[in-house]
Amino acid sequence: MKKRTLIGPFKQIIPMSGMQLKGAIADQELEVIEDGGILIEDHLIIAVGNFKALAAEFPEVSTKVLNGNHVCVPGFIDAHTHICFGGSRAKDYAMRNAGKTYLEIAHSGGGIWDTVTQTRKASIEELTKSTIKRANRHLKNGTTTLEVKSGYGLTVSEELKMLRAIKLANDQALPELISTCLAAHMLPKDFKGSETEYLKEISEQLFPILKEEKLANRIDAFIEQSAFSADDIQGYFNKANELNFDITVHADQFTPGGSNVAVKFNAISADHLEASTDTEIAILANSNTIAVALPGASIGLGCNFTPARKLLDAGAALAIASDHNPGSAPMGDLLTQASILGTFEKLTNAEVLAGITFRAAAALKLKDRGKLEKGLLADLAVFHSDNYQDILYNQGNLKPCMVWKNGALVFDRHK
């Protein structure tokens, strides 16, 4: 006999149901279930509705009774992070704020390469442990699914070490981790050859092992003047397509161009987009590629935000992720960053919540989460409040009091 539990009553449940994947959303479109209950069975949601009506319909089930005012939203989905890394880049942050340029920082031993050096020095056990610790901190902030990239190894064996660490971390961490291979993060300084030679080596030697060991289904590349060009990446993405990997791109972070490549290769998502112009916005809006804003990188680097309002108004699907990494986005607080993006870009509550729930699920091609509906995973973030608007109004300072992952209460602030 499967175990059923009715959770509630919630002052409000925001199921995020019935909303379109693309374009602007008015707050009036947000369904609010007052005095709601959620019936779960094992890891799945069986029913969402009025608490008393559900209790009457299913009198035999056990009940998890909540006292006081609570609001329930789908567990958040952070579709872009780099939380598997060694060391720190606090020095970069201080130098940047003291006026040093990107190149000056890179030349003095900072930048992505510094993290590569430190990550290579870390053992797989150390990487696994620190990734679990960071993932569990995200869970306490309501994130029940996190994408995690490699990209600080930059050799076949070091990328494998990272991706195996992410897989091991996924076995033990509270949120689910979705891994992505970002071996195309930059041309490693110790590689003797060109960009295309490096990418050829990775695609020929690493891609088959990713399949064999089920280490990642997703291939990412940083398309930028300081990393790889549209020409460099062509053969790499062709190979990824041939092997049925999903493609995602670090696009238009400092200069436009990457989003065009993303759409050309039918990428699941194009992420960053701080430098996207009206041309790139139109290309993304007319595509199936999800646009992912990373306000944590704008806050970390002191750069402009992704033109989220324009993207939505043009009809794009907009997800919002933390980009949590040691360099450009050290904060790693999705709710705070999404709220702040909302204030600067004038996004409705519905648009921000969609960006960290069902639209983020689409950025990871996950159909089983991101909404509170029958048949989907029972991933819930619960806040002490009588009004869902408090969640973004508090700009990340209102933390969830309870989090359910796969139907299990994995975090309870009261305890």
C-beta of 187 vs 329, nearer to ligand NIG: 329
β-strands 246-251, 33-41 pairing = unpaired
C-beta of 150 vs 325, nearer to ligand NIG: 325
DSSP conformation class of 65: E
Instruction: Name every residue whose Cβ is closer than 8 Å to that of residue 316 and which is 6 or more positions away in sequence.
Output: 22, 23, 281, 284, 285, 291
| Burial group, residue 264, by CB count within 10 angstroms (0-12, 13-18, 19+) | middle
The answer to whether 250 contacts ligand NIG (rule: CB under 6 A) is yes
Q: Determine which residue in the list 10, 113, 222, 237 makes contact with ligand NIG, applying CB under 6 A.
A: 222
The CB-of-80 to Fe ion minimum distance in angstroms stands at 6
Can you tell me whether residue 231 is helix, strand or coil?
helix
328 binds, among Fe ion, ligand NIG, none (CB under 5 to 8 A by kind): ligand NIG
**Residue 127 to residues 55, 110, 140, 178, 305: CA-CA distances in angstroms?**
45, 20, 20, 16, 31
Site string for ligand NIG, 82-111 (x = CB under 6 A): x-----------------------------
C-beta of 5 vs 325, nearer to Fe ion: 325
Through-space distance between the first and last CA atoms of the chain, rounded to whole angstroms: 29
β-strands 402-405, 380-384 pairing = antiparallel
Q: Per the structure block, which two tokens stand in for 8?
A: 């509630």
Please identify which residue in the block is written with the tokens 């559900």.
54
The answer to whether 147 contacts Fe ion (rule: CB under 5 A) is no
Using CB under 5 A, which of the segments 53-61, 113-121, 134-142, 319-327 binds Fe ion? 319-327
The answer to whether 326 contacts ligand NIG (rule: CB under 6 A) is yes
Rg (CA), the chain: 21
Q: Determine which residue in the list 114, 147, 323, 333 makes contact with Fe ion, applying CB under 5 A.
A: 323
The answer to whether 253 contacts ligand NIG (rule: CB under 6 A) is yes
The CB-of-329 to ligand NIG minimum distance in angstroms stands at 6
* Residues in 328-347 at the binding interface with ligand NIG, rule: CB under 6 A: 328-329
Can you tell me whether residue 153 is helix, strand or coil?
coil
119 binds, among ligand NIG, Fe ion, none (CB under 5 to 8 A by kind): none
The answer to whether 203 contacts ligand NIG (rule: CB under 6 A) is no
The CB-of-300 to ligand NIG minimum distance in angstroms stands at 8
How far is it, in rounded angstroms, from Cα 158 to Cα 5? 44
Size of the site for ligand NIG (CB under 6 A): 13
H-helix segments, 183-257: 195-205, 207-212, 230-242
The answer to whether 327 contacts ligand NIG (rule: CB under 6 A) is yes
274 binds, among ligand NIG, Fe ion, none (CB under 5 to 8 A by kind): none
The CB-of-344 to Fe ion minimum distance in angstroms stands at 20
**Residue 283 to residues 122, 146, 213, 261, 357: CA-CA distances in angstroms?**
41, 27, 35, 10, 24
The answer to whether 115 contacts ligand NIG (rule: CB under 6 A) is yes
- Say if CB 114 and CB 87 are below 8 A apart: yes
* Residues in 4-33 at the binding interface with ligand NIG, rule: CB under 6 A: none
Site string for ligand NIG, 345-384 (x = CB under 6 A): ----------------------------------------
Q: Determine which residue in the list 13, 46, 79, 112 makes contact with ligand NIG, applying CB under 6 A.
A: 112
How far is it, in rounded angstroms, from Cα 261 to Cα 211? 24
355 binds, among ligand NIG, Fe ion, none (CB under 5 to 8 A by kind): none
The CB-of-80 to ligand NIG minimum distance in angstroms stands at 7
Return the bridge partners of 176, or none: 145
C-beta of 280 vs 323, nearer to Fe ion: 323
Q: Is the dihedral of CA 387, 393, 397, 402 positive or negative?
A: positive
One-letter amino acid at 20 equals: Q
115 binds, among ligand NIG, Fe ion, none (CB under 5 to 8 A by kind): ligand NIG
Using CB under 6 A, which of the segments 118-126, 165-173, 326-334, 357-365 binds ligand NIG? 326-334
How far is it, in rounded angstroms, from Cα 53 to Cα 43? 22
Q: Site residues (CB under 6 A) for ligand NIG?
A: 82, 112, 115, 222, 250, 253, 297, 323, 325-329
Q: Site residues (CB under 5 A) for Fe ion?
A: 323
